[in-house]
Amino acid sequence: MDLGGINLVTLVASLMVAAVPIMLAAIGELVVEKSGVLNLGVEGMMVMGAICGFIAAVNTGSPVLGFVGGALGGAALATIFALLTLGFLANQVATGLALTLFGLGLSSLLGQGYNGIKPPPTTALFGPLGEIPVIGPILLGHDWMVYVSILVVALVWWVLKFTRTGLIIRAVGESHDAAHALGYKVARIRFLCILFGGAMAGLGGAYVSLVRVPQWVDGITAGAGWIALAIVVFASWKPWRVLLGAYLFGGISVLQLRLQAAGSAIPVEYLSMAPYLITILVLVIMSSGRGRSALNAPAALGQNFHASR
Amino acid sequence: MLRLEKRPIPSRFWLYGTPVVAVILTMIFGGLLFALMGVNPFAVIKTIFWDPLFGEFAFYLRGQLLVKAGPLILIAIGLSLGFRAGIWNIGAEGQYIMGAIVGAAVGLAVFPTENRLIYPVMVLAGALGGWAWAMIPAILKTRFNTNEILVSLMLVYVAQTILAKASTGFLKNPEGMGFPGSRNFSSFPAAANPELIAGSGLHWGGVAAFVVAVAAWVLLSRHIIGFQIRLSGQAPRAARFAGVAPQRLVVLCMGLSGALAGLAGLFEVTGPAGQISIDFNVGYGFTAIIVAFLGRLNPLGIVLAGILMALTYVGGEMASTNLGLPSAAIQVFQGMLLFFLLALDLFTNYRLRFGLREIA
Amino acid sequence: MLRRTLLATAALGLSLGLSTGAFAAGMDKVKACFVYVGPIGDGGWTFQHHQGALELQKAYGDKVEIAWQENVPEGADAERVLTQMALGGCNIIFTTSFGYMDATNAVAAKFPNVMFEHATGFKREHPNVSTYNARFYEGRAVQGTIAGRMTKSNKIGYIGSFPIPEVIMGINSYYLHAKKVNPNVELTVVWAYTWFDPAKEADSAKALIDAGVDVIASHTDSTAPLAEAAKTNGAVVGFGQASDMAEYKPSPRVSSIIDNWGPYYVKRVGALLDGSYAQADAWEGIAGGEVLIGEITDAVPADVKAEAEAMRDAIAAGTYHPFTGPINKQDGSPWLAEGQTAPDGDLLGMAFYVEGIQGDIPK
């Protein structure tokens, strides 16, 4: 299974791991945006999830509780965002950016004293089954969060597409005035969506500090939240395309390093731009092919709602 | 139950009052945070808000406020035009980098020629560099309907890689012992952007910021393009009926914001930063987005917001050095200030009915 | 006008202990200030400098006051922070990143009575500017020896940040010494193009591991590469970088290079206190204690451990220089003749691989 000195099996296996944080954060943000809210604070919520998850895991010794803590940490920060944008009708773009600034600072304060500690390991779900050639590493060899992340995508897809809850979320995101007229509690629905988005970003962050790195250092997410935001746009607000986008981006990021390791003749700096350029390229092809996918954005995205009766 | 009621006209009192109340609230809550960390809150708040303006070293720090605020204002004004029209350029950081690289490259190419025309040409090149980088998302948007948020953001990372390549490769100082980074412009007078009045912190970037602020104000309030921009943002359908070509507006707004970000980059790299280096960009492009919204997308507001942001940076640094606060605490403090500013904005347009005391 | 006020104030405020030109006056109390490029919590470069600062404080107690500023971007902000520090009464300012070079010299010109110490740079434009650095390549020589002996696949890897002399020097030293003990060894270099991005560092390590590499050295800041190696259950080993990274002992972390700035800080401030301070260009290594080799763990066979320790001791004693000829450049052209050791100038500006390394340095 080698191609140009690169083992495809390990490539796929490692891109699945590399994509988890951005995928979780992006699927959360997708729900938020579907409800008509643009939260640019994903990076801040991720890094809060990373430190809260780390603290929880180290103090309880349980990675599961760590991830719970991460989700709570992300959701807690998201609450501030919800309060400001829903309660005080503050500008969403600016609030989101301020949230990132605040989250980076707060996480660093909380994390003092947690440098240089190893968190409890998150184990592979199927144990020895991961040793089976080819399908083992790709399908069975991962830690359980990899499967959780895919399940979350599936769940979000199912809820948005087939359930009444999904219908309401979409209605609120398309036209909050109409949804309000129909008697839906716009603010409450959006609040719950923002909490969900925060929790997912927090989970993604916790995955970085508990599995990917695993360690706490200031600013550990190093910009993953921004990529997650871009993936939502890339996916044109469709859940499965979030998975595709995250795997594509994660895949190219991992591939470019492997090409280097395999002694590829392509200059390194072009390789390191590749994930960004290829993401743009794919989006251009998608948007020009269908012509309308970029118009798929929720109509009320970024607008605040005030029931004026 | 609390209930918000929209004011028929925005409240003048709150328009000017919110920043003051926000700062006071931030002082209270930030003070609590600092007290919890075992630092004297009064000392910290005095260091952040008072010392840079009126303290012992204010003669130096006032100028530094201008140095810090200049690029923020310049970029934010460009961005605000697009934001008003619903065009989301969030890649100003990349345009800032590219403006700096292109402008600096032009200057370095003729080193060490001394000619008065060099700097104006560099300024032009810087604006062009930023403009061209912004044209990529603009053209993709108009041609293929590709979302400009994603493209402009992704191009920031591409620009950063080009910057790394520039500083370790094609713009590297040949006399720099192989270290990364270009020549320092302070030793190349024809291409440098020095302080115009010694000690004032004012360089061409600051001048440009104020000129652009005035120009933007005139554009928005007096010119047909300003009208079109405002209309497209508020009522896109109406704008189309009024004959606004959305495509042209995208190209115009993206181009303007890109050019201004590029200018800011060029002024910064030839002046305060001094040289192209791997990480000479310090996030002005992103901070400017906050500044644009803090200033309510209004040129005058942006100038004030830029100066307020600069104050928290400069004062925050001093607090951190002199009082041993972690810089993270300052970040949290800045975040709080922004939260309060954004939240209290509500009262400009709305009033509370019943139980006013419960919220304030 | 204002500028003159600035200089006058500076001169007034700071001429307490020192008089211009002659540093040999001695002081009762020194305020030492540090400018950091990252957060203290980075666990690597900045963390180690701060450890040095704390060591300094401990060494002199009341006689020294320390102050610091984290997260200072290089460029305009550095110049402001330095000026603030100088105005604020710092007697000696340590600027701990290469990118502060021009700012350090510019501010030093305005404050002739404040001492400036710039880490890893080469410009000393004023009598009050000194530079200091550490010979990390000496540590790389020890690591290379261990790597050459420990590898079973004969493939060793290196995660580089940016293609700058500092990093290239380390790669060459690592490779030369691995090759010396194991002629079949092959080196794979992956450039991460970042100093700090833990996830990317982990991916780089994974890419190397999947390419068959079983010993990894890194020149980026986080522990992520070691954590990645730890997932292989002992098949892959690596080294601590900048700090000891002891939490990954005994394997995969089999040894480490520790940046140990404390002794230098203690020495310089001590000189300021007793009046013996003079401008310097310090480039110390294992001998001076600035580069520490972290404990070589039992995961390394005893004979290899002994060999590596002998290397370390020879370097410390000055009997062995890691770059001793004959060494050719990558293209086969001669660099050092038999027995010749590398001049410091060649090392500081190193922009080429030595013979035998595959691949190109990004240009």
The full set of domain ranges for chain B reads 38-325
For the segment C244-273, what is each residue's pLDDT rounded down to a tens digit?
888 888 888 999 999 999 999 999 999 999
| pLDDT at C266 (0 to 100) | 94
In a domain, A267, yes or no: no
Contact A212 C202 (CB under 8 A): yes
Which of B63, B67, B177 has its CB closest to that of C348? B177
CA–CA distances in Å: residue B7 to residues A305, A308, B1, B346, C151: 15, 11, 19, 10, 74
Chains sharing 3 or more CB pairs under 8 A with chain B = A, C
Residue A4: CA count within 13 A, CB half-sphere: 12
Cα dihedral across residues B357, B304, B73, B299: positive or negative: positive
Smallest Cα distance from B1 to chain A, Å? 13
Q: Chain A closest CA to B342's CA: distance in Å?
A: 5
**Chain B nearest C-alpha distance from C310 (Å):** 32
Ramachandran angles phi, psi of C116, nearest 5°: -115, 135
Mean pLDDT of chain A: 88
List the single range of A165-169, A209-213, A290-294, B349-353 with lowest mean pLDDT: A290-294
The residue among C105, C161, C158 whose CA lies nearest residue C129 is C105
* Domain B38-325 grouped into CATH 1.10.3470: yes
Separation of alpha carbons B53 and B315, rounded Å: 9
* Residue B327 φ/ψ, nearest 5 degrees: -65, -20
Q: Which residue has the tokens 């020294």?
A: C64
pLDDT of residue C6: 39
CATH number attached to the domain at C15-135+260-284: 3.40.50.2300
Q: Do the Cβ atoms of B166 and B101 come closer than 8 Å?
A: yes
Contact at 8 Å (CB) between C339 and C162?
no
Percent of chain C topping pLDDT 70? 93
| Structure token pair of residue A190 | 């959006």
- The string of pLDDT tens digits covering residues A55-76 is 999 999 999 999 999 999 999 9
Distance to chain B for A144, nearest Cα, Å:
30
The span from the CA of C236 to the CA of C268, in Å, is: 41
Higher pLDDT, C147 or B2: C147
b/e per residue, A232-241, with b = 16+ CB within 10 A? bbbbbbbbeb
Domain count, chain A: 1
Site of tokens 């004969």: C154
Neighbours of A206 (CB within 10 A): 37
Name the residue in chain B with its Cα closest to that of A100: B335
CB under 8 Å to A192, separation ≥6 — which residues?
none
Q: Which fold has domain C136-258+290-348?
A: Rossmann fold (3.40.50)
Task: Name the DSSP letter for residue C270.
Answer: H
Mean pLDDT computed over A135-154: 87
Mean pLDDT of C154-159: 95
Q: Which residue has the higher pLDDT, A124 or B290?
A: B290
- Contact between residue A8 and residue A1 where contact means Cβ atoms under 8 Å apart: yes
Residue pair C115/C143 in contact (Cβ under 8 Å)? The answer is: no
Token couple for C170: 């380390």
Contacts of A102 in chain B (CB under 8 A): 331-332, 334-336, 338-339
Query: What is the rounded CA–CA span in Å between residue C321 and residue C18?
Result: 39
pLDDT of residue C18: 39
The answer on pLDDT for A291 being more than 80 is no
Give B173 or C3, the one with higher predicted confidence. Answer: B173
Q: Do B326 and A112 touch (CB under 8 A)?
A: yes
pLDDT over 90 at C10, yes or no: no
Helices B148-168 and B92-109, axial angle in degrees (round to 10): 30
Side chain identity, residue C46: T
pLDDT at residue number A295: 55
C-beta of residue A23 within 8 angstroms of C-beta of residue A212: no
Domain that holds residue A193: 9-225
Q: Test A10 with C188 for CB contact under 8 angstroms.
A: no
Q: What one-letter code names the amino acid at B174?
A: P
Provide the pLDDT confidence category of residue C5 given band limits of 50, 70 and 90. very low
* Amino acid symbol at B252: L
CA distance B233 to B250: 12
Under a CB-based contact definition with an 8 Å cutoff, are residues A132 and B328 in contact?
A: no
Question: Would you say residue C361 has pLDDT above 50?
Answer: yes
Whether cis (ω within 30° of 0) applies to the bond prior to C252 is yes
H helix and E strand count, chain B: 15, 2
pLDDT of the residue at C169: 93
Beta C155-160 vs C186-191: how paired, if at all?
A: parallel
Q: Tell which A residues from 23 to 82 touch C, by Cβ distance under 8 Å.
A: none
DSSP state of A138: I
| Same CATH fold assignment for domains C15-135+260-284 and C136-258+290-348 | yes
Backbone angles phi, psi at C340, to 5 degrees: -80, 140
End-to-end Cα spacing for chain B: 15
Place of tokens 């079983």: C214
Q: Are C309 and C336 in contact (CB under 8 A)?
A: no
Between β-strands C334-336 and C327-328, what pairing exists: parallel, antiparallel or unpaired? Answer: antiparallel
* CA-based torsion, A79, A110, A221, C100: positive or negative: positive
- What are the beta bridge partners of residue C216? C157, C238
Q: Which range (B4-13, C121-130, C273-282) has the least confidence?
A: B4-13
C13 burial class (0-12, 13-18, 19+ CB within 10 angstroms)?
A: middle
Partner residues linked to B351 by β-bridges: B5
Q: Residue C198: what pLDDT?
A: 85
Phi, psi of B206 (to 5 degrees): -65, -45
Give chain B positions within 8 Å (CB) of C193.
Answer: 161, 164
Identify whether the C-beta of residue B155 lies closer than 8 Å to the C-beta of residue A276.
yes
Subunits with 3+ C-beta pairs closer than 8 A to C: A, B
Instruction: Flag if B198 and C2 touch (Cβ within 8 Å).
Output: yes
Kind and range of the H or E run holding B139:
helix B118-144
Of A99, A105, A287, the CB nearest to B328: A105
Domain range annotation of chain C: 15-135+260-284, 136-258+290-348
Q: Residue B283 in 3-state DSSP? A: coil
Q: Which residues of A touch B165 (CB under 8 A)?
A: 269
Residues of chain A found within 8 Å of residue B4, distances taken between Cβ atoms: 89, 306
Q: What is the three-class DSSP state of C117?
A: strand
Packing angle, helices B284-294 and B246-270, rounded to 10: 120
Q: What is the pLDDT of residue B145?
A: 84
Residue B202, CA distances (Å) to A135, B104, C178, C214 in order: 64, 20, 55, 56
Is A112 an 8 Å CB contact of chain C?
Answer: yes
CB A261 within 8 A of CB A4: no
Residue A303 covered by a domain? no
**CB neighbours of A286 closer than 8 A, spacing ≥ 6?**
A236, A293
Contact at CB, B179 and C165, closer than 8 angstroms? yes
Phi, psi of B116 (to 5 degrees): -65, -20
Q: What is the pLDDT of residues C191-233, one digit of tens each?
A: 988 887 888 898 899 999 988 999 999 998 788 899 888 888 8
What pTM did the predictor assign?
A: 0.89
CB contact under 8 A, C197 and A223: yes
Residue of C166, C349, C123, C119 whose CA lies nearest to B178: C349
What are the residue ranges in chain B where pLDDT is below 50? Answer: 356-360
Torsion angle in degrees (nearest 10) through CA of B228, B230, B233, B235: -70
What's the confidence (pLDDT) of residue B176?
A: 78
Question: In degrees rounded to 5, what are phi and psi of residue C92?
Answer: -140, 135
Query: Per-residue pLDDT for C19 more than 50?
Result: no
